[in-house]
């Protein structure tokens, strides 16, 4: 058991577990976001719950942040080791004949997603942390001195999607996330040793997930941009 | 057929090496790829030049020696064959053909197109065997019933000829397909289960020490493998390794 993370298989196993965790988180995230399309009240209630519940804030949020950082750091470590394993490149390499573009460019698609996450954290997470833990406003209200002003989350969400540039970048990042997932979903199962008839039957679902989840995120952004 | 060959020439392991152009003419479409190289070498010898060094032995797709990266693909443009089984009818008159050695830190070039694949031997020595008493009273393996599905899968894994095309094709120079085939052929049989835990731990440890990269599941190895070794073997090795790690 000791030193499992020092082995190539152990590192891939850890990478896959963090990926599976993040894929489950994406489902939860898009589900909450989607409520903003048909019920601002429900979106506000869920956002307030997620933003103030001590279990979510004190336990789940740190685990999520660790999972995100671990996935990216381990990705860079694996890439560095892989590059070191071939010191002289081929003069001619026809890799497109034996593997898909997405499978060979997980670092590229991952870097775009990382850049998006930086902006996403700045837009929402840093703002939330500032309001709640620096300014000390845990009310979640538009006007903390007026209980009738209503929750601020829905209004803030719509405000973020006014800019067409931000919506455009948002859409591009989620297209890249979709490409990342198209390889990553099945790859995660292979890395944990699951390659059997049951997992193979998941291939159709993996495509639905990999295209559907990012498409929903894009739809929500575009919807609020035009509905504003 | 008239062709232009762009061949990697490297005097020895310490030489930097470079691609050198060689025009060849009068090549028959019925020649094998190695016979075409024989023609080139004959011409080079007659001109007093150093012939191109390349590995070959059985020339019938069994030994796995002919390690050539042809036009950007391991063993050339066809699938499920070795370079010696590739024929010149796969090319057109006037084509330019790149011929390079396997590229991997764990497969250093010895000369021209020949690489040192002894890292595979060391991985095999680390656990790719079963310990059998050969004192004369060895049990007949056929006396042990084995379910047909597992026997077939073990046989499929055992068809790996250790040519290294998986490493050469993988963008990470990963040896996972080779090692997983060797692990699987024993793990699927009762004779191999006895030493299964140590086998997978030791073989993976040796694989990592040799400097092969990490598998990122691109599937290039499976496509380029001349014997069609399945990615299912890598998943099986992952399971074997993780179970052995938690057990040990």
| Chain CA centroid to CA A91, Å | 37
What is the ipTM for the molecules in this complex? 0.92
Interface test with chain B among A92, A107, A180, by most B beta carbons within 10 Å: A92
Residues 6+ apart with CB under 8 A from B108: B13, B115, B116
Domain boundaries defined on chain A: 4-84+105-227
- Partner-chain residue, chosen from A92, A192, A196, that has the shortest CB–CB distance to B72: A92
Give me the mean pLDDT over the B48-58 stretch: 97
Q: What is the pLDDT of residue B204?
A: 98
Mind listing the pLDDT tens digit for each residue in A67-113?
999 999 999 999 999 999 999 999 999 999 999 999 999 999 999 99
Average pLDDT over residues B132-160: 90
Contact A109, A102 (CB under 8 A): yes
Task: Give yes or no for B235 touching A (CB within 8 A).
Answer: yes
pLDDT at A4: 80
Q: What is the pLDDT of residue A141?
A: 81
Domains and CATH numbers, chain B: 3-111 (3.10.20.30), 118-132+145-247 (1.10.1060.10)
Mean pLDDT over A57-63 rounds to: 93
Between A46-60, A148-162, B141-155, B186-200, the lowest mean confidence (pLDDT) is in A148-162
pLDDT band at residue A198 using 50, 70 and 90 as cut-offs: confident
Q: What is the pLDDT of residue B39?
A: 97
Assess whether pLDDT exceeds 80 at residue A149: no
Question: Is the pLDDT higher at B132 or at B69?
Answer: B69
Does residue A1 carry a pLDDT above 70? no
Which pLDDT does position B248 carry in this prediction? 66
- Which chain A residue's Cα is nearest to B78? A97
Give me the mean pLDDT over the B167-194 stretch: 97
pLDDT tier at B128, thresholds 50, 70, 90: very high
Confidence of residue A123 (pLDDT cuts 50, 70, 90): confident
Spell out which residues of chain B touch residue A82, defining contact as CB-CB under 8 Å. Answer: 171-174, 213-214, 216
Yes or no: is domain A4-84+105-227 CATH 1.20.1300.10?
yes
Q: How far is CA B236 from the centre of its chain?
A: 20
- CB-based contact A195:A189 (threshold 8 Å): yes
Q: What is the mean pLDDT of residues B173-185?
A: 98
**Chain B partners within 8 Å of A108 (Cβ):** none
| Interface membership of B242 toward A (CB under 8 Å) | yes
Q: Tell me what the mean pLDDT of segment B196-211 comes to.
A: 97
Task: Find the chain A residues whose C-beta atoms sit closer than 8 A to any C-beta of B.
Answer: 1, 4, 7-13, 78, 81-82, 84-95, 97-100, 103-104, 106, 183, 186-187, 190-196
Nearest residue of B to residue A100, measured between CA atoms: B218
Which among A98, A191, A196 is the nearest to B169, CB-wise?
A98
CB contact under 8 A, B213 and A104: no
- How would residue A202 be classed by pLDDT, with cut points 50, 70 and 90? confident
- What is the pLDDT of chain A when averaged over all its residues? 92
Q: Is B231 on the interface with A (CB under 8 A)?
A: yes
pLDDT computed for residue A2 by the predictor: 53
**Chains A & B: contacts with CB separation below 8 Å:** 140
Is B169 within 8 Å of chain A by CB? yes
Residue A50's φ and ψ, nearest 5 degrees, are: -65, -30
Residue pointed to by tokens 């969400």: A157
- From the number of C-beta atoms within 10 Å of its C-beta (0-12, 13-18, 19+), residue A92 rates as middle
Interface test with B, best of A98, A181, A198, A202 (most B CBs within 10 A): A98
Q: Mean pLDDT, to the nearest integer, of B199-203? A: 97
Average pLDDT, stretch B32-49?
Answer: 98
- Among A141-155, B5-19, B113-127, B172-186, where is mean pLDDT lowest? A141-155
* pLDDT averaged over every residue in chain B: 96
pLDDT of residue A197 exceeding 70, the answer is yes
Cβ–Cβ below 8 Å for A1 and B213? no
The mean per-residue pLDDT over the stretch B149-174 comes to 97
Q: Give contacts of A202 with chain B, Cβ < 8 Å.
A: none
- Which whole number is the average pLDDT over B120-142? 90
**Minimum distance, in Å, between the CA of residue A26 and any CA atom of chain B:** 22
Mutate to test the interface with A, among B70, B104, B216, B224 (most CBs of A within 10 A): B216
pLDDT digits (tens, 9 = 90+) for B221-246: 999 999 999 999 999 999 999 999 98
Range from A146-155, A184-193, B168-177 carrying the lowest mean pLDDT: A146-155
Poorest-confidence range of A63-67, A84-88, A139-143?
A139-143
Among the partner-chain residues A1, A85, A193, the one whose CB lies closest to the CB of B173 is A85
């Amino acid at each position: 058991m000791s030193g499992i993370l020092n082995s190539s298989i152990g590192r891939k196993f850890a990478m896959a577990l963090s990926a599976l965790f993040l894929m489950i988180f994406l489902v939860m995230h898009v589900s909450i976001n989607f409520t903003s399309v048909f019920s601002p009240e429900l979106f506000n209630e869920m956002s307030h719950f997620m933003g103030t519940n001590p279990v979510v804030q004190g336990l789940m949020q740190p685990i999520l942040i660790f999972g995100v950082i671990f996935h990216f750091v381990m990705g860079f470590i694996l890439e560095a080791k892989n590059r070191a394993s071939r010191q002289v490149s081929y003069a001619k390499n026809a890799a497109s004949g034996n593997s898909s573009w997405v499978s060979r460019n997980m670092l590229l698609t991952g870097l775009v997603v990382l850049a998006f996450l930086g902006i996403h954290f700045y837009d929402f997470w840093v703002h939330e942390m500032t309001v709640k833990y620096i300014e000390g406003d845990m009310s979640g209200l538009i006007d903390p001195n007026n209980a009738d002003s209503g929750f601020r989350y829905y209004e803030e969400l719509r405000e973020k999607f006014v800019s067409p540039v931000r919506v455009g970048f948002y859409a591009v990042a989620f297209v890249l996330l979709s490409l990342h997932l198209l390889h990553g979903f099945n790859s995660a199962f292979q890395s944990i040793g699951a390659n059997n008839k049951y997992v193979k039957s998941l291939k159709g679902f993996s495509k639905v997930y990999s295209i559907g989840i990012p498409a929903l995120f894009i739809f929500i952004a575009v919807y609020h941009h035009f509905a504003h | 057929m008239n062709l232009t060959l762009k061949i990697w020439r490297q005097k020895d392991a310490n030489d930097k090496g470079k691609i050198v152009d060689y025009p060849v003419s009068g090549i028959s479409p019925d020649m094998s790829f190695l016979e075409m190289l024989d023609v080139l070498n004959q011409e080079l010898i007659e001109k007093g030049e150093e012939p191109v060094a390349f590995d070959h032995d059985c020339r019938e797709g069994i030994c796995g020696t002919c390690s050539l990266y042809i036009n950007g693909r391991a063993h050339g443009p066809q699938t499920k064959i070795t370079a010696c089984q590739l024929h010149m009818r796969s090319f057109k008159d006037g084509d330019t053909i790149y011929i390079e050695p396997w590229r991997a830190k764990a497969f250093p070039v010895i000369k021209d197109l020949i690489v040192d694949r002894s890292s595979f031997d060391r991985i095999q020595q680390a656990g790719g065997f079963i310990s059998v008493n050969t004192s004369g009273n060895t049990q007949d393996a056929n006396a042990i019933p084995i379910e047909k599905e597992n026997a077939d899968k073990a046989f499929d894994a055992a068809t790996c000829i250790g040519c290294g095309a998986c490493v050469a094709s993988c963008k990470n120079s990963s040896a996972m397909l080779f090692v997983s085939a060797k692990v699987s052929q024993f793990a699927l049989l009762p004779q191999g289960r006895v030493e299964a835990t140590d086998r997978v731990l030791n073989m993976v440890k040796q694989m990592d020490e040799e400097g092969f990269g990490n598998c990122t599941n691109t599937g290039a190895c499976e496509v380029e493998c001349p014997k069609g070794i399945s990615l299912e073997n890598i998943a099986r090795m992952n399971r074997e390794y993780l179970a052995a790690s938690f057990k040990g």
